[in-house]
Amino acid sequence: MRDFNLKSYAGLANEALEQYIPSAKDHPGIIHEAMRYSVFAGGKRLRPTLGFITHEMFGGSVRNFQPAAAALECLHTYSLIHDDLPAMDDDEFRRGKPTCHRMYGEAVAILAGDALLTLAFELMTLRLRETFTATQVLQATAELAVACGTYGLIGGQTVDILAEGQEVPNPELTVEYIHTHKTGALITASLRTGAMLAGATRDELAALSRFGHYLGLCFQIRDDILDHTGDQAKVGKTLGKDKKSGKLTYVSVYGLEKAEEQLRKCHVACESALKPLRETDSLLAVAALAVERDS
Amino acid sequence: MRDFNLKSYAGLANEALEQYIPSAKDHPGIIHEAMRYSVFAGGKRLRPTLGFITHEMFGGSVRNFQPAAAALECLHTYSLIHDDLPAMDDDEFRRGKPTCHRMYGEAVAILAGDALLTLAFELMTLRLRETFTATQVLQATAELAVACGTYGLIGGQTVDILAEGQEVPNPELTVEYIHTHKTGALITASLRTGAMLAGATRDELAALSRFGHYLGLCFQIRDDILDHTGDQAKVGKTLGKDKKSGKLTYVSVYGLEKAEEQLRKCHVACESALKPLRETDSLLAVAALAVERDS
């Protein structure tokens, strides 16, 4: 039942992405084709799902949130495309398929990432006005801009890239910074925008921020563990790469056993964070999935 | 006098950029340093200036427009940083200094571009609310998102990159598409956001769009001519590169003489476009500068 619900959210996200990303028939076709290739290469639609869940939790209707859900996935996919570039992580596979730059070349991949980032803000500012007030839309759009900026996603990405293969003075703090920023910031913003557009209070948003912080850590620590112990066919990307390239991960910093312990602790913290809120079953289900997933 | 005014607009833009781009002391320092390096490497501040001019034309106060002016320059600089990357135009100099990726490496340059694009939307959504209504701010932000998207700047960039060194079936149409999208779209959006936030009417905005279309062409045709005949020390970037790399330019498509004729025609079209508007002296001065400039 839980699983069915989560899948239906992913379906709503896909429907919106299908509608809002221009067709490869629209000039210039190659850029739209590259955007669609990466967006529809698979993916769990985690961020849209989190937004749909909190939007419903606070009384909103999922249909109204669809443009924002598409924007969240565009932001996530942009970050993956740029992250995979030769100058960054130099990844060949993503979601089980060749990465964007391997399919379309580096120039188009850079532009496709830029285009998805830009499209996210177009969707937020143009496609939500039928059902939300300008003030609400502006607040939600600002939330995403801050989450994706240098104190959020890009900050995490920068430290991640620079720490690679380096001796870092405080690896525990650094890996936590990377994970909470690179992954946690947009996860938290997804939870908050959904809730915000449904009129959640400041205290409710604060509880979601705490949950998002630990949920982001759960996802990323599980990712680090899967890079060590996962099944490449299931995970859909090259495994063992973190170790080879000297990435800072929970496994490289703490060892496998302690990383698993940290994962359990973060899971407990996720559950505690939700205590002040009601109707949290779906969010608890996502946290459980984050911890247990093998792909 | 004209020139003095234009310079004072650039000063206001610089003041805002100084205030809103995080300091290199803020963690992670390197990304803020790279953003500042490229933004403060020089530049005419054309887009902020256009926004200031139209904001004043329609009764606004330049101080209120400063955050938007900074956003416009962030968008322009992001596009230059990514455009200069080895996978794109592979440029070594910009505004007379080494390009961002030569100073900070490709990974940081990609991220610095991403960060400036993202910061632009943060400034628009967070820093204009003291003086403008949420509806106005949302409209102006959407304008920028559309102008920078695949039907605007990124579209132009994509066609530019793909046309390089290729036989193109309709070079006249293609080079016009590239210039009006790669350069014209953000110039037009700069004119429109300034006016929009000062309450210009739909007809007034339409006149500015026509002006922006031809002003963008003037700037870009002049650029094409300077790449052929300019003084490298003044222009501040490697000249003769367009020809070497087989770029589609007005000079390569029409030859130098006819390109100069097109430039004059576009200048006349700029002046005609402004006829329905009042107090157009400053805009006329910018158009004259676009046509006459040697840097």
The rounded distance, in Å, linking the Cα atoms of B209 and B211 is 5
The per-residue pLDDT for range A209-235, each reduced to its tens digit, is 999 999 999 999 999 999 988 777 777
Least confident residue range of B74-88, B179-193, B234-248: B234-248
Q: Which residue has the higher pLDDT, A3 or A208?
A: A208
Query: What per-residue confidence (pLDDT) applies to A3?
Result: 53
Name the minimum distance, in Å, from the CA of A80 to any CA of chain B: 12
Domains of chain B: 2-292 (1.10.600.10)
Q: Which residues of A touch B110 (CB under 8 A)?
A: 82, 85, 87-88, 110
Q: How many CB atoms lie within 10 A of CB A252?
A: 18
Q: Can you give the pLDDT at residue B273? A: 98
Our CA angle for B116, A102, A217, nearest 5°, is 55
For residue A147, the model assigns a pLDDT of 98
Chain A nearest-CA residue for B89: A107
Residue B233 banded pLDDT, cuts 50, 70, 90: confident
Q: Å from A106 to nearest chain B CA?
A: 6
In chain A, residues with a C-beta closer than 8 Å to the C-beta of B151 are 22
pLDDT score, position A166 = 87
Q: Is there a contact between B133 and A134 if contact means CB atoms under 8 Å apart? A: yes
pLDDT at B6 over 90: no
Note whether B284 and B274 are within 8 A (CB).
Answer: yes
> Is residue A142 within a helix (H) or strand (E), and if so which, with residue range?
helix A134-147
Confidence of residue B3 (pLDDT cuts 50, 70, 90): low
Cα separation, A261 vs B176, in Å, equals 60
Provide the mean pLDDT of chain A: 94
Gyration radius of chain A over CA positions:
18
Q: Is A135 on the interface with B (CB under 8 A)?
A: yes
With beta carbons under 8 A apart, name residues in chain B contacting A119.
Answer: 145, 149-150
Q: What's the rounded mean pLDDT across residues A122-127? A: 98
Structure tokens at B24: 């290199």
Q: Per the confidence metrics, is the pTM higher than 0.80?
A: yes
- Per the structure block, which two tokens stand in for A107? 């120039």
Largest CA distance in chain B: 52
Which of residues 79 through 118 in chain B touch A, CB cutoff 8 A? 82, 85, 87-88, 105-108, 110-111, 113-115, 117-118
Other beta carbons within 10 Å of A245: 11
Which residues does B224 contact at the CB level (< 8 Å), separation at least 6? Answer: B242, B249, B250, B251, B252, B259
| Tokens read off for A214 | 């630990």
User: Which chain B residues are within 8 Å of A125, Cβ to Cβ?
Assistant: 138, 141-142, 145
Tokens for A74, please give them: 């565009």
